Structure 1
Amino acid sequence: MVRQAAADHLEESDDLDWKEMLPQQPRDGRWNELAKDVAAMANTRGGLLIFGVQDQTTTLVGIDPQEINKQQYHQWIRNHVQPYLPDLDIFELSDGEKTVLVVDVPASEMAPHFVYGTAGRDKEQQAAVVPYRDNDHTAWMAEHQIERAYRDRFARVGLAEEELQRHIDFTTKTITAQATAPSAWFIAVSRPQRPLPRGAYTMSRDEARETLDAAKMRARLLHGSALPPGPLVGMGDDTRLNPRPGLRRWVCSNLERQHNREIITELHYDGTVVMAVNLSWMRGREAPPGPEDDLPVSERLVMACCYDFVASAQELQRKLRVDSTQHLTATIISPDRPRALAPLTSYWGDGQESVPAHARRPHYIEHAHAGLSPTSADEEGRSTADELITDLMNQFGL
C-alpha cells in the first residue's frame, strides 16, 4: 500500500505525512519534531507518519532498518507529549528490498495534547504549544481553539462515563427483576475509548462462541492459580456456547435456569463487554441469605470474576480489532436494597473462607476503574485484573 501510494504520488494531507529520514535527536532550543508531528495528528483526526519516502517527489527511498530505535522514539514522545498517548503504534514494513517506518497515530479522545520543549533563547525555560494538522503542514492552536478542544474532551469523557453507567444501571434492573433471592452481585463493564460505529460490524453467533471459549482459556493463563470456577465456567457449556441474540449484542444468561450460579455475560457489536455474577450463593447447592442476613462476598470468587472479565475484554478486543484503549469499570452491589456486604477470605490459600473480625461490612462499594491498551499482552491483563481485585476488596478493609 505504501509503495502504491508513493508511485501514485499521493499528496500529503492532514492524516498523511511523508518523511525521507528517520527521526533525529533535536538540537538545542528546537522542538522534538517527532513529538510535534505525533501530537499534531493526535489533535486532528489521527493519521500516518511514514519514514522512507521523499515528501516532494514521493520517491520511495527506504531507510536503514539497523538505525531504527523504536524504544528511543517512544521515549521522546513520552517525554515531550502530554497527556500520554497510549494507543500509538510504531512498526516497520519491508518487502525484502526497502524498509519504511510507520508511526500510526490514532485520533485521541484526550486531545488537546501539548508538546513540551525548551525555548530557543533560554535553555532552562520550558515552553509548551498545541500543534495540529492543517492540510499538509503543522500549525499551532490559538487560545480559542485550545479552549474548544478542552470542551470537546470533557464532553467525550462525560459521555463515556454515562455509557458505562447506563450499562451498569440496565444490568442492575435486569438482576432486580429476575434474581431469585437477596444476593451481592459483581457487575463489570468494559467499553472501548472509540467504540465501533453502529453498523460497522455484526458479530455472528459462532464468533461470539469462539470469543467466549478463547476467553475461558485466557483466564486460566492469566491467574495461573487455584481459583474457584469463574463465570465463564460456572454458567456451563450449554449456556456459554449458545449465546442468544440481544440488542446489537450476544447474551449468555442462565437467570431462567434453576441450577448453577446466576451469571450474565454480554458481547456487544461495538466492543463493549458486560458481566454480572451472583457472589453470595449457588442455586441447588447453597441456601440463600435470609431477609436480614449480611450478604457474603467471596474474595476468591471476586478474583475469578475479574480475571474472566478482563480475559473476555481482551478476546473481544482482538476479535473486533479494536484499536483504542478499553475503559473497565467493576463494582459490587446489592440490587434489591442496601445490605451489609460481608467479605469472605482465607489466610491459608485454598483453605476455608470466613469473615475476618477486622473486616468492614460496607453497604455500598465504589466503582473500581482500570484500562487496557490495544492488543494488551497477558502481563498487562494480569495486572489489570489484579488492580480491579485490589480496589474492590480494599473497600472491605482486606
Structure 2
Amino acid sequence: MPQQRILVAHPSAELYGSDRVLLESVAGFVGNGADVEVLLATSGPLEQQLTARGARVRIVPMPVVRKSVLKPRGFVGFVSRSVVGLVSGLALVRRSRPSAIYVSTLTIPLWNLIARLSGTPLVVHVHEAERSAGRALRYALAAPLRLASLVVFNSIYARDTVQLTSPTAASTSRVIYNGVVGPETVVEARASLNRELRLVYVGRLSARKGPDVLVEAIARARHADMVTLVIVGAVFPGYEWFEQQLRTRIAELGLQSRVRFEGFQPSGYPFLAESDVAVVPSTVDEPFGNTAVEAMLAARPAIVSDTSGLREAGAGYSSVVFVEPGDADSLAHAIDRMVDEWQVMRDGAAADARAAASRHSIETYQGEIWQAVAQVIPGGEAAPILAAASPAAGAKG
C-alpha cells in the first residue's frame, strides 16, 4: 500500500490534556509509516514535541469556536476569518493532497468543511463534553460533525453529550480512551505521612478546574494543620486575574506558607512523585480526566470530582475518592479520609498503577487511533496496526 499522507488540524500549541493526546495520535500515524503534517493555530511548546515525533508543523491561522461567537460582533469576526481560512485551507489541501484529514477537536469546524469540499476523508476526534454550555453553543459545536467520515470520542460521556444535542451528528463513531504516558519510574507513595499530607494539583488555573475550591477545602479540613499543596499550572492568557484572586484568598486564609505555585511545567510527574495525594477538583463537565489517570499511573491516591468524564476516568480504582463538584466541605472530608485511611489508600494506589498502565496503554491507543483513520481511507482498511515508542511525559488537566 502506498504511503498515506495525513493532514492534522489542532487549535492549540500548549501541552495540556488534548495537546498531549494529539502527540500520541501523531506518533501512532508516523509509527505506521504515514507522512504527517500538523497545522497549528499558534506557535508554542507543542510544536517542538510534534517535530520530535516525526511530523512537519505549519502555523496556520484558524478561527476557533468560543462563547464570544454567539455575540453579534464575535460572530461577524468569526465568519470573516472563516472565509479567509476556507480559501487558504482549500488551496493547501489541493497542494498537499492528503489521504485523510484528522481534526482533533470540535472547536475548529472550518476544517470539517474544507475536508468535505475537497472530497477528503475526515476523522474528527472529540475531547469536549460541554453539557453545561447553552444549547446554541452545543449545537454549533456538534452540527459540523455531520461532515465527518468518522467521529472518535475520548469517552462515552463525550459521545452521549453530543448525541443529546444532535443525535445524527455522531451516527458513525467509536469511543477510544486516551492513551496516557506514565512516569519513567513509578515511585510508590510514602509508607508514613509523618504529620504532613502533601497534596498536588496539576492543571490549568481556572474556575472550572476548581483550585479555588481546593484551597477552601484545605482550610476546612480537620487535619488542616498538616496539609500542604503544590499547584502546577498556569492561567490562560487574559485570565491572570484568577491567579491573583486565588493568591489573595490563600493569604486571607493564612495558607501562604503551605501553598506553593510552580507555574506551567512540561511534566507533572516529578511533582506527583513528591506528593502523597493528587486532587482533581473540577467544578463543571469534563470529557475525560487525564490528570486522574496520571495520578493512578504514578501510584498516587486521588480525590476526584464525581462528574461527567472524570467519573468514567476514575471508575474501578480503589484509591480514588469521589467528591461533590464545587463542594469545599465534601473535598475537606475526602482530605481527612486520606489521612485517616492512609495505609489502605497507599496500598490501593500501588495496585491501581498496574491497572491504569494496562487500561491506558500508549501502544493500544496508537494502534486504535491509526486503525480509525486508516478505515476511512479508500483501500486503507487493512492497514497494519503498529505502535510507536513514546518518551515518558506528564500531561496537564
Q: After TM superposition, is the score higher than 0.5?
A: no
Q: Which has the higher helix share?
A: 2
Higher relative contact order (CA 8 A, sep 6+): 2
Q: Which has the higher strand share?
A: 1
Larger radius of gyration between Structure 1 and Structure 2: 1
